[in-house]
Amino acid sequence: MSQVVGMRLFGRKKKSDVKKSNYDIFGGATVTRVEGGYEITWRSPNLTSVRLTSMPKLDEGLSVKREGDTIHILSPECKLTIISKNGETEAYISKM
């Protein structure tokens, strides 16, 4: 009598789709609350922006100035990381 343990007969191993994008930001950025979420704007060297549904997480070491629904990131060199997985998107802004 033989016994096979752990053998899969059908299907594939489901892998989660994780997409990660990194952006280097020089000269600061602006996070603005807009309808449906937040917009992050910076120059690299052209004006670039990204829209998100949730507020980006800001590193404690960043120099920021808050004015109502707008956050000015004053740190001259930052890194923006956007991670998308399972339909959820999160953004992190940290010092380089």
Give per-residue pLDDT as tens, 7-55: 555 656 556 688 999 999 998 999 999 999 999 999 877 899 999 999 9
Tokens (6 digits) for 37:
């979420």
pLDDT top residue among 91 and 45: 91
Query: What pLDDT does residue 45 have?
Result: 79
Task: Region of 53 please: left (phi>0), alpha (psi -120 to 50) or beta.
Answer: alpha
pLDDT score for 15: 60
Cβ contacts of 19 within 8 Å, gap of 6 or more:
83, 84, 85
> Taking a C-beta distance cutoff of 8 angstroms, is the pair 94, 46 a contact?
no
pLDDT exceeds cutoff 90 at 57: yes
| CB proximity list for 60: less than 8 A, separation 6 or greater | none
